[in-house]
């Protein structure tokens, strides 16, 4: 079975189980609406959902880009400097020991109820996975490559950018794949704490008004966007790594 068919079959089974739970359990719509009811709401409220979805998408993409940039830069700095490793790594571990979700109210206080606090939340939640994955890959550069570079008189900066960073890009790609899944979580948590727009805000609004079907519709849109984002990041990473391998083989 091909992958698209497997995904389609899995989706059909999940929808059938969902409908079976609603029908056999006799659950009222405000507790658990059926998939058809959610689909109807998704279509009838498509303009409202799209309006809020674009806000969340912008927050997630901005947080993903900033988290990747800052995480990558931090990993390179830690790998290049033993002093930085001794000083910064304990702080990173301490920051990760604090539940990131608990920082959402503080970020809202600092950056306000606009997109800034949600972008900061998404950035924080993906910063450590990107930094950790890339740093570990940088520190696992084959020792033989480094020895040859030093024998040939390569400078530390050249060794970093021409040997260690290219060799560690698969690790950076793994961090980005995780970030693509975590970034929407950060944005939604930020919207739950304080927002006037976004899918997280729409879900809270729908829940408060007992519009469970609208809440599920917004949740499905968020899930589909997360899957699409992960697939896009994965494809971009694979394409980049494949081009690098082809270039190495061509040389």
Q: How confident is the model at residue 4 (pLDDT cuts 50, 70, 90)?
A: low
pLDDT at 95 over 60: yes
pLDDT at 1 over 70: no
Q: In the chain, what is the greatest distance between 2 CA atoms, to the nearest angstrom?
A: 75
pLDDT at 171 over 70: yes
Mean pLDDT on 133-148: 84
pTM of structure? 0.85
**Residue 124, domain member (yes or no):** yes
d(CA 79, CA 112): 35
**Residue 128, domain member (yes or no):** yes
**Residue 144, domain member (yes or no):** yes
**Residue 7, domain member (yes or no):** no
Tell me the pLDDT tens digit for each residue of 105-119.
888 888 888 888 888
What CATH number should be reported for the domain holding residue 108? 1.10.3720.10
**Residue 9, domain member (yes or no):** no
Find all residues with CB under 8 Å of 210, minimum gap 6, and list them.
30
Number of domains in the chain: 1
Tell me the pLDDT tens digit for each residue of 48-82.
999 999 999 999 999 999 999 999 999 999 988 88
Segments forming the whole domain that contains residue 245: 34-250
Mean pLDDT on 146-167: 82
**Residue 23, domain member (yes or no):** no
Tell me the pLDDT tens digit for each residue of 234-245.
999 898 888 877
**Residue 16, domain member (yes or no):** no
**Residue 89, domain member (yes or no):** yes
Between these two residues, 126 and 156, which has the higher pLDDT value?
126
Q: How confident is the model at residue 3 (pLDDT cuts 50, 70, 90)?
A: low
Mean pLDDT on 200-209: 88
Return the structure tokens found at 211. 């519009």
């Amino acid at each position: 079975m091909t992958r698209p068919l497997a995904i389609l079959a899995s989706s059909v089974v999940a929808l059938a189980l969902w409908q079976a739970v609603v029908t056999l359990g006799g659950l009222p719509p405000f507790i658990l609406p059926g998939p058809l009811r959610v689909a109807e709401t998704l279509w009838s409220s498509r303009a409202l959902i799209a309006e809020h979805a674009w806000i969340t998408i912008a927050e997630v993409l901005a947080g993903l880009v900033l988290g990747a940039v800052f995480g990558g830069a931090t990993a390179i700095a830690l790998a290049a400097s033993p002093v930085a490793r001794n000083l910064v790594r304990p702080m990173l571990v301490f920051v990760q020991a604090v539940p990131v979700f608990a920082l959402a109210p503080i970020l809202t206080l600092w950056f306000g109820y606009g997109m800034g606090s949600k972008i900061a939340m998404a950035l924080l939640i993906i910063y450590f996975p990107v930094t950790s994955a890339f740093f570990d890959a940088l520190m696992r550069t084959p020792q033989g490559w480094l020895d040859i570079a030093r024998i040939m008189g390569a400078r530390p900066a050249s060794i970093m950018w021409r040997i260690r960073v290219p060799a560690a890009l698969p690790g950076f790609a793994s961090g980005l794949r995780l970030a693509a899944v975590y970034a929407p979580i950060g944005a939604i948590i930020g919207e739950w704490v304080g927002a006037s727009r976004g899918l997280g805000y729409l879900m809270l609004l729908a829940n408060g008004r007992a519009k469970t079907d609208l809440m599920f519709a917004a949740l499905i849109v968020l899930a589909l966007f997360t899957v699409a984002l992960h697939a896009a990041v994965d494809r971009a990473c694979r394409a980049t790594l494949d081009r690098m391998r082809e270039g190495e083989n061509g040389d």
